[in-house]
Amino acid sequence: MNAGDDFQGTPISSLTKGRSQIELMNLINPDAMTLGNHEFDYGRDALEENLKLAKFKVICANLWDKRKGNLFTKPYTVKNLGKAKVGVIGLTTPELFKLSLRENLKDLELLDIEKVTRQYINELKTKEKVDLIIALTHLGVQADSLLAVKFPEIKIIIGGHSHTVLKEPKIVNGVIICQAGSRGEYLGYLEAMIDVDGDSVYSYKGKLIRVVEGTVKPDEVALKKVEELEKMVDKEFGQVIGKLEVDWKRNFYGESNLGNWEADVMREFAKTDIAFQNSGGLRKDLPKGDIKVRDIWEINPFGNTFVVFEVDGKTLRKMMEWQASGKAELMQVSGIKVVFDSRKKIGERIISIEVGGKPLDENRIYSIVTNNWVADHLYDLFGIPQNSVKIKNLGVVDRDIFIEAVKKQKVIKSEVEGRIIDLAKQKEEIKNEY
């Protein structure tokens, strides 16, 4: 089973808009796959075209297609395994519209997970007469646990989304929950003995099998397919374009040297006062040494474009207060220095803001560059209404600009400089030193 987010993360996936992943999965031929948020990174139309090529079942019970007037995919699949009849319900994240570009989700609507789960549990039991119900989810372990509490009729949950490495199954309310991390590092294996009379799991054993390169012998047919796909990108993507003198390290909860470098490049390109790069948009670290075209594609795989907009200083302060509240994904920044104290009351955490080395002027207009995904989620990320600013798309893809910047700079040594300072964390660090 595949719990989603198979698309994205590699140049070949981006170049083929996910087709490469469908071709590989056709070789593996899973019994079922559900949709993750990254399946929509190339738009719903590209996904629909790719799904036509799939020789396996793709299921999702909580995604409605307003164009067709029915579900985007089948809600479940039923599999006969010996004397047992097993039903599998697919569920995707209720945060799909927060995590994806809205234009990539045209005419799609999320349905209430509890309602559809109850509906299809009933249908599987009464109409299909199944002996066992499995939920194949892209919700994350925490949401899987809540699902188990509410629906003990589900006996097994195979999950994704939170990238949790469950070396042994987690049991919640008698429900077996499994998840195998991320990036294909592990294969999750669960063996279950089913009591067909009691419609339950009599016994089970589960584990993770580490399958990174060198630990197992690759399947020859799959390996040949991977090599064939990689040849499409090797020549261009293997090109060395620069040198990194220090490791590039991401930080989802604070300033990072990779985030600083990218935000600086953005601000320089757009000639704005400030740059914001969302921390979650940076998809890999990079050790010091050669920088290849492939590395920049893998750090920035989404093909986002740069956009610019303006706000006054008063609005900018509100945006930074929202960022300091902990409610939103943290921005990596350039041109602005923010000092805050997370121990203070939300809305009163900002201590100081400097833009271009000068104190924030609430009456001044400031120009900002970011990417189109951030601009599409202004309320979630900054707490300001979506239509409160006029956004201009510069029409350039982020990674193209980053590649040119590496070529121009040749040798890069970016540092953490104290652009984002939480006084509470600083004092905690000092306290720990003593």
Pairing of strands 420-422, 336-340: parallel
The pTM of the full predicted model, rounded to 2 decimals, is 0.74
Place of tokens 């943290």: 330
pLDDT (tens digit, 9 = 90+) per residue, 378-408? Answer: 999 999 999 999 999 998 999 999 999 999 9
- In 117-173, the DSSP E strands lie at 132-138, 156-159, 170-172
Q: Mean pLDDT for the chain?
A: 94
pLDDT category of residue 93 using cuts at 50, 70 and 90: very high
What is the rounded average pLDDT of the residues 167-194? 95
Torsion of CA 184, 189, 194, 198, to 10 degrees: -60
Name, in order, each residue with C-beta under 8 angstroms of 334's C-beta and a sequence gap of 6 or more. Answer: 260, 263, 264, 266, 267, 274, 275, 419
* Percent of the chain predicted with pLDDT > 90: 84
Q: Which pLDDT value is given to residue 434?
A: 44
> From residue 110, how far is each of 54, 64, 116, 268, 334 by CA, in Å?
23, 6, 11, 39, 36
What phi, psi does 111 have (nearest 5°)? Answer: -100, 160
pLDDT surpassing 70 at residue 429: no
pLDDT surpassing 90 at residue 14: no
Q: Which pLDDT value is given to residue 170?
A: 97
Q: Which pLDDT value is given to residue 13?
A: 87
**Residue 262 to residue 249: CA distance in whole angstroms:** 12
Pair 216, 205: CB distance under 8 Å: no
pLDDT (tens digit, 9 = 90+) per residue, 287-334? Answer: 999 999 999 999 999 989 999 999 999 999 999 999 999 999 999 999
Name, in order, each residue with C-beta under 8 angstroms of 280's C-beta and a sequence gap of 6 or more. Answer: 252, 329
Q: Which pLDDT value is given to residue 427?
A: 61
pLDDT (tens digit, 9 = 90+) per residue, 219-234? Answer: 899 999 999 888 888 7
Pair 266, 257: CB distance under 8 Å: no
Pair 286, 247: CB distance under 8 Å: yes
Q: Which pLDDT value is given to residue 423?
A: 95
Q: Which pLDDT value is given to residue 433?
A: 46
Q: Which pLDDT value is given to residue 63?
A: 98
Q: Which pLDDT value is given to residue 286?
A: 98
**Residue 197 to residue 162: CA distance in whole angstroms:** 34
Per DSSP, what are the bridge partners of residue 156? 134, 176
pLDDT category of residue 9 using cuts at 50, 70 and 90: confident
Q: Which pLDDT value is given to residue 430?
A: 47
What is the rounded average pLDDT of the residues 351-369? 97
pLDDT category of residue 428 using cuts at 50, 70 and 90: low
**Residue 152 to residue 279: CA distance in whole angstroms:** 37
Query: Two tokens at 268?
Result: 């320089």
Q: Which pLDDT value is given to residue 109?
A: 97
SS3 label, residue 281? helix
Query: Two tokens at 202?
Result: 């009599």
What is the rounded average pLDDT of the residues 35-60? 95
